[in-house]
Amino acid sequence: MANAQAQTVQVLHWWTSTSEEKAIASLSGRMAQENIVWKNAVIPSGSGIGAGIVLKSRMLAGDAPEVAQLNGVIISEWADLGLLQELDPVASSGKWEKSLFPTVWRLIQPKGHPVAVPLGIHRINTLFYNRKIFAKFDLSPPSNWDEFDALAKKLQQAGITPLAQSSEPWQLATLFETLVLSESDANFYRDAFVKKSSQAFVDPRFGRALSRLRSLKKYMPAPLTERTWIATTRMLADGDAAMLVMGDWAKGELNSWGIATDIGFSCAAVPNTANYHLYDIDTLVMLDKGAAARSAQEKIAQIAVSPVVQTEYNQIKGSIPVLRNPELNKMDSCSQTSWKIFSRGSAVQVPSLAHRMATDEISKDAIIAEIMRFFSNDSLSVSDTQKRLAAISRTLPK
């Protein structure tokens, strides 16, 4: 009888890696206990590219899923269209306003009503390093760029690629936004990527970040190709590279391969960013499919934010819970550091450009395209690129 009453819910998402699939299994397993069947509708790129396009096309075709993965600023855009279920009853009964971090609470209720379900918080400014390589050469994780350059040169002399990297645009943008933060501070970062101030783009601090990006090229694999983030992470795991700058979903993937935190690898902050948390928040939205779907959608929201699921899901995913009072003793060293920094409040929390937290999709794509143009063509000067970005910023939505 129970199976006959089970309700199938289709979920549109881009989680395709080993750790992501395990995280989904933990969430869908909890849903199954409530007689809800999770049906995958996967966008195979693995980075969210095209997710909005696929969702819009399905909406126009009258074939919307019940649940979709939407991250960051775009949540507000969909809420404006009146296409998302408001989750006030669930949020009220679950006391979300008190239990969630304020930044998370603000993100999911752009118009005063909660319209998204927060799953976890990723830290982007994470420097992963291979412990076996570092131990062999008696190296310590660098806290500034002089230390980074010194150990990178030492690794190169030993025939080891210092920095795992892909030329995929979002991966280069992920690296670059950490460089902007490392050469400035949280306020300047927001001026550039949230406010899109033309003055920020021509500032010397932005110029130093561009110069740093170009100087890091010599420490990357040659030739540099468009590896997936999973392949980039595998370089670190296999010892083909000593370090990696990536969101802490890489930690979840390393763990899923049987490589333990603080044994096979460890986490540090990108040089000069230890006091900041450059974040990406995973969220699900419920599409308005009428009363028939609503009970299952509300149950999913309730399950996802429950403490037991928050602990379980984020341990697998590599992220930290969205809760102000999680079970810290169940987190590894990387997650404990991430949570403690994020909990210091908005002054140290910095929204990721590359991962849709800082600005709209049009602005994000325009900025990343210029960064890619600069990185790919060594004949382009730092100053000319800054001027181009400043000019572009004046045309972008504010």
126-277+350-393 CATH pick, 3.40.190.10, 3.40.50.970, 3.20.20.30, 3.40.50.10800: 3.40.190.10
**What is the per-residue pLDDT across 369-386, written as a single tens digit (0 to 9) for each?**
999 999 999 999 999 999
Domain locations in the chain as residue ranges: 2-121+281-339, 126-277+350-393
| Whether this model's pTM surpasses 0.75 | yes
What integer is the mean pLDDT of 301-328? 97
Q: What is the pLDDT of residue 2?
A: 46
Q: How far apart are the first and last CA of the chain?
A: 54
Residue 319 has pLDDT above 50, yes or no: yes
Confidence band, pLDDT 50/70/90 cuts, at residue 61: confident
Look-up of token digits 């075709």: 61
Give which of 138, 137, 141 is closest to 129, Cα–Cα: 141
Q: What mean pLDDT value characterizes the chain? A: 95
Token duo for residue 162: 């210092």
Give percent above pLDDT 70 in the chain. Answer: 97
Q: What is the pLDDT of residue 1?
A: 39
2-121+281-339, superfamily in CATH? Periplasmic binding protein-like II (3.40.190.10)
Residue 46 has pLDDT above 70, yes or no: no
Element (H, E) at 121: strand 116-123
**What is the per-residue pLDDT across 16-29, written as a single tens digit (0 to 9) for each?**
999 999 999 999 99
**Coil, helix or strand for 154?**
helix
What integer is the mean pLDDT of 327-350? 97
What integer is the mean pLDDT of 261-272? 98
Cβ–Cβ < 8 Å for 128, 236:
yes
What is the distance, to the nearest Å, from the Cα of residue 365 to the centroid of all Cα atoms in its chain?
16
Q: How many CB atoms lie within 10 A of CB 324?
A: 14
Residue 290, CA distances (Å) to 15, 62, 66, 162, 287 in order: 26, 13, 10, 53, 9
What integer is the mean pLDDT of 274-282? 98
What integer is the mean pLDDT of 211-232? 97
Q: Which residues of 173-182 are buried (b: 16+ CB within 10 A; e: fewer)?
A: bbbbbbbbbb
Same fold, 2-121+281-339 and 126-277+350-393: yes
Give which of 231, 280, 331 is closest to 69, Cα–Cα: 280
Q: Which residue has the higher pLDDT, 289 or 331?
A: 331
**CA 122 – CA 47 distance, rounded (Å):** 14
**What is the per-residue pLDDT across 94-129, written as a single tens digit (0 to 9) for each?**
999 999 999 999 999 998 999 999 999 999 999 999
